[in-house]
């Protein structure tokens, strides 16, 4: 039975990914620092769903949950204990989802992003260098496309002008990761996630904030006066794509043309893919979906564009589909219905 090291397992996508891997028969060793960027009780509840009781968690101590699943509270900046884990365990694959998330938060708390997203990722790469794995899959972000107006966004597009530090750290991950893949023959794939939503989602994301406010009769803040579009992608579709990617290990490409280099490819055993729904939704249409799911009308405060925001995200997923068979299938209303039903069950109706 193969073992996957999963980082960010107390997170939204991480919890769902852990469930997918366990159902597929993998052993999962998971990490999370359980920081307080948002309500930690939600993170502990996700871990509880994986069989990990809050009172059993101690820093750098392995706790066993569901059959085949274990959890270690560990900061990725803690290189010594991370390397000890790789030395002790036989890790076949790594899925690296842990990161300091949030575009707006990066404007006021930049150091958190350097520590977690740059230093933490570097430590993962060093561990994979000295304790080789079959494939490292890591989370990048659609934010790397910045203010690009050529839609849909394609992997070959220009990504050198990020408009937030969060985006810059994700682009740095892609570049540093490529150098490690080239130098040390590490098979590696980066996935540019596009606005993931669904049950157990993050409180700082629009589906959560809008649902909470509408159910409570509170006013929602609608940025850029609603003139925005997002490629909302349901979490189960995302996790299926992550799983399919894990099973498709990139190899050295001797045919790569270095005279006319394509940013979407490489001669190294390295791939970069968009992973989204490829169906951008207008913000006002999204709000209407939440209204239908909750049965309540939204009170809106129309506001200007916020620093670090972009007008549209829209993924071209043709490359990922050709490589893995990725085929997202969840429409926005079905996905929002599932999220609102979870929210009501978890928090109550208001």
Q: Three-state DSSP class for 266?
A: coil
Q: Do the beta carbons of residue 72 and residue 31 sit within 8 Å?
A: yes
What tokens appear for 6 in the block? 């999963």
Written as one string, the DSSP assignment of 102-150 is -TTHHHH-HHHHIIIIIIHHHHHHHHHHHS--SEEEEEEEGGGGTT--S
Q: Three-state DSSP class for 208?
A: helix
Segment holding 264, helix H or strand E: none
Beta pairing partners, 72: 31
Cα separations (Å) of 241 from 56, 171, 214, 334? 32, 20, 31, 19
The CA distance from 334 to 310, in Å, is: 25
Q: Among the options 105, 113, 166, 243, which is catalytic? A: 166
The CA distance from 278 to 232, in Å, is: 9
What tokens appear for 28 in the block? 């999962």
* Residue 166 among the catalytic residues: yes
Q: Do the beta carbons of residue 272 and residue 189 sit within 8 Å?
A: yes
Q: Do the beta carbons of residue 191 and residue 242 sit within 8 Å?
A: yes
Q: List residues with catalytic annotation.
A: 166
């Amino acid at each position: 039975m193969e073992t996957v090291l999963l980082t960010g397992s107390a997170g939204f996508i991480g919890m769902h990914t852990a469930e997918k891997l366990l159902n597929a028969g993998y052993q999962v060793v998971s990490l999370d620092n359980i920081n307080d960027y948002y309500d930690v009780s939600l993170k502990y509840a996700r871990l509880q769903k994986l069989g990990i009781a809050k009172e059993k968690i101690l820093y750098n101590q392995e706790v066993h949950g569901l059959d085949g699943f274990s959890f270690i509270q560990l900061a990725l900046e803690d290189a010594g204990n991370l390397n000890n884990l790789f030395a002790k365990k036989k890790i076949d694959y790594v899925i690296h989802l842990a990161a300091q998330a949030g575009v707006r938060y990066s404007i006021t708390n930049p150091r958190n992003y350097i520590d977690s997203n740059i230093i933490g990722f570097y430590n993962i790469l060093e561990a994979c260098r000295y304790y080789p794995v079959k494939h490292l899959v890591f989370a990048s972000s659609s934010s790397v496309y910045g203010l690009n107006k050529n839609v849909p966004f394609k992997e070959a597009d220009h990504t050198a002008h990020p408009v937030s530090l969060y985006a810059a750290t994700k682009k740095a991950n892609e570049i540093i990761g490529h150098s490690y893949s080239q130098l040390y023959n590490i098979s590696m794939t980066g996935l540019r996630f596009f606005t993931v939503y669904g049950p157990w989602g993050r409180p700082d994301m629009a589906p959560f904030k809008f649902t909470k406010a509408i159910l409570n009769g509170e006013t929602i803040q609608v940025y850029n006066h609603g003139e925005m579009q997002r490629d909302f992608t349901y979490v189960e579709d995302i996790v299926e794509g992550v799983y399919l990617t894990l099973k498709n290990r990139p190899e050295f490409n001797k045919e790569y043309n270095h005279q006319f280099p394509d940013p979407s490819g490489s001669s190294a055993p390295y791939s970069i893919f968009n992973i989204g729904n490829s169906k951008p939704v207008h913000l006002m249409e999204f709000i209407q979906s939440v209204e239908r799911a909750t049965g309540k009308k939204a009170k809106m405060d129309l506001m200007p564009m916020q620093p670090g925001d972009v007008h549209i995200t829209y993924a071209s997923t043709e490359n990922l589909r050709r490589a893995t068979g990725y085929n997202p299938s969840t429409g926005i209303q079905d996905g929002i219905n599932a999220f609102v039903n979870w929210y009501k069950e978890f928090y109550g109706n208001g």
